[in-house]
Amino acid sequence: MDRRTFLVLAGGTLLCPSRALAQTGRTYRVGMGIVGAEPGAKPFIDSFLAGMNDHGYAVGRNLIFDVRYAYSDLTRLPALVDELIALKPHVLTGFETVAQVMRSKTSVIPIDLTSSSDPVGLGLAQSLARPGGNVTGVSLLWEHYPPKHIEIFREILPKLSRLGLFVDTTFTGSKAGEANARNAARQIGVTIVPYYVANRADVEQAFAAMEKDRLDAFTFAGGSAILLHLRPLVAERAMRLRLPFSSMVGTGTFVAIFSYGPNTEHAFRDAARYVDKILKGAKPSDLPIEQPTRFEMVVNLKTARALGLKIPQSVMLRADRVIE
C-alpha cells in the first residue's frame, strides 16, 4: 500500500460516523491534491473527511482516500496528478491551482473544487449555475475581501500609512484582489506596497525587503494555496519583524492579528457534500458551483498583546471568535 495513502487511512479510521453507513456494498476512491505539506493541510483534510463521514463514507470501510502533497512546489503537481489518476479514482478534488492541472489531464473523471476564486474565468466551468464540464464545487471569491481587511486595519491602526500586500502570482484572483486593495487604500490615503510571490523563496525575499520598507502592517490580495501552507513561516517572520498582519483563513495555527473571510475548513466540508452527490450519480456539469454564505471574523488577542496593540471595542464586537 502506498505510504501516503496508509497515513490517511490510519488517521481516517478515527472518523467513523456514529450513524450506520450507507449499505451500497461498494468501495469508492477519492484522490486529493495538496499544494503544501501534510502538517499545514491537516485541518482541511480532517474537515473533508468529517464531511465524507457525514454522508456515510468511512475511510477503511467504504472509502479509499489518496492524497498527494506538492510541498509548495507547483512543478511537482503534474506528476502527482498523474499518480492520482493512475489509481482510477471515482472523484478528484483540490484547490483551484490543483484542479487546473487535474482538468488538463482528464475531462472524464469528476473534479471537485475545494476552493476557487474564478472558475469561469479559468475555463474550469461555463458558468457557476451550469458548469457544463467535469468540474464543480466551491468558489470562495477571495479577491473581494482585501477592502474589508483594510477597513478593519484602519480601526486597529488609526495612523495606518503603508500596508504590505502579498500577491500570489500563481493564483488567478490575486490580480483583481490587488486592484480592489489599491482602490480601497487610495480612498483613505493608505499606500499599498506589493510583494509578488510564487514560491517559498519569493516569500523569504519579501520579508527581507519588508525590513527596509517601513510598513505598518501587511495582508493578502486573495486566496493563495502557497501562502496558506506557508503560514507558519509567515507568522514567524511577521513576529520577528513585529509586524501585525491579517489573514483570510481563521485557523488556530495562523497567528494573524485578525482574520476575515469564508471559513476554509467549512469549504472543505462542503466539498465532501459534492463528492457524495457525484458518487450517487449526479453529473458535475449539472451541479451549480457554490459561493460562500458563511463568513467568520477571528480576533487574536494573544498576538495583539505580543505586539503591544489594543484591539478597539468596535472590532471586538464584530468578532465571531476571539483567541485569548
User: What domain range includes position 129?
Assistant: 3-141+263-286
Fill in the DSSP letter of residue 138.
Answer: B
Same domain, 116 and 198: no
Q: Which residue has the cell 452527490?
A: 277
pLDDT digits (tens, 9 = 90+) for 274-321: 999 999 999 999 999 998 877 889 999 999 999 999 999 999 999 999
pLDDT at residue number 143:
85
Q: Based on the structure, what is the number of domains in the chain?
A: 2
- Residue-wise burial string across 90-99, b where 16 or more C-beta atoms lie within 10 A, e elsewhere: bbbbbbbbbb
Same domain, 176 and 307: yes
Q: What integer is the mean pLDDT of 36-48?
A: 88
Same domain, 272 and 226: no
Task: Report the first-to-last Cα separation within the chain, whole angstroms.
Answer: 43
pLDDT at residue number 102:
98
Give the model's confidence band at 16: pLDDT under 50 very low, under 70 low, under 90 confident, else very high: very low
The alpha carbon of 2 is separated from its chain's Cα centroid by a whole number of angstroms, namely 26
The alpha carbon of 217 is separated from its chain's Cα centroid by a whole number of angstroms, namely 22
Give the model's confidence band at 100: pLDDT under 50 very low, under 70 low, under 90 confident, else very high: very high
Cβ atoms of 206 and 218 within 8 Å: the answer is: no
Same domain, 241 and 303: yes
Cβ atoms of 110 and 134 within 8 Å: the answer is: yes
Same domain, 14 and 101: yes
**CB atoms < 10 A from the CB of 21, how many?**
15
| Side-chain half-sphere CA neighbours of 67 within 13 A | 27
Q: At how many degrees (to 10) do helices 38-54 and 3-12 cross?
A: 50
Same domain, 154 and 251: yes
Which secondary structure element, helix H or strand E, spans residue 136, and what is its range?
strand 135-137
pLDDT digits (tens, 9 = 90+) for 200-234: 899 999 999 999 999 999 999 987 777 877 888 89
Minimum mean pLDDT among 79-83, 84-88, 114-118, 227-231: which range? 227-231
Q: Which residue has the higher pLDDT, 296 or 24?
A: 296
pLDDT at residue number 282:
97
For the domain that residue 226 is a member of, what is the CATH number? 3.40.50.2300
Give the model's confidence band at 251: pLDDT under 50 very low, under 70 low, under 90 confident, else very high: low
Same domain, 74 and 221: no
Mean pLDDT of the chain: 88
pLDDT at 12 exceeding the cut of 80: no
Same domain, 195 and 59: no
pLDDT at residue number 248:
83
The alpha carbon of 61 is separated from its chain's Cα centroid by a whole number of angstroms, namely 28
pLDDT digits (tens, 9 = 90+) for 123-178: 999 999 999 999 999 998 888 899 999 999 999 999 999 999 999 998 878 888 99
Same domain, 121 and 269: yes
pLDDT at 263 exceeding the cut of 60: yes
Same domain, 67 and 88: yes
Same domain, 133 and 158: no
The alpha carbon of 128 is separated from its chain's Cα centroid by a whole number of angstroms, namely 19
Cβ atoms of 188 and 217 within 8 Å: the answer is: no
Same domain, 68 and 95: yes
Q: What integer is the mean pLDDT of 41-62?
A: 94
pLDDT at 4 exceeding the cut of 80: no
Which residues touch 39 (CB under 8 Å, ≥6 apart)? none
User: Order of strands across the sheet with 91-95?
Assistant: 63-69, 28-34, 91-95, 111-115, 135-137
pLDDT at residue number 262:
86
pLDDT at residue number 174:
86
**Exposed, middle or buried by CB within 10 Å (0-12, 13-18, 19+), for 37?**
middle
Give the model's confidence band at 264: pLDDT under 50 very low, under 70 low, under 90 confident, else very high: confident
Q: What are phi and psi of 104, to 5 degrees?
A: -70, -20
pLDDT at residue number 11:
37
| Per-residue cell: 78 | 503534474
**Exposed, middle or buried by CB within 10 Å (0-12, 13-18, 19+), for 38?**
middle
Sign of CA dihedral 209, 211, 212, 217: positive
**DSSP string across 19-69:** SPPP-----EEEEEEESS-HHHHHHHHHHHHHHHHHTT--BTTTEEEEEEE
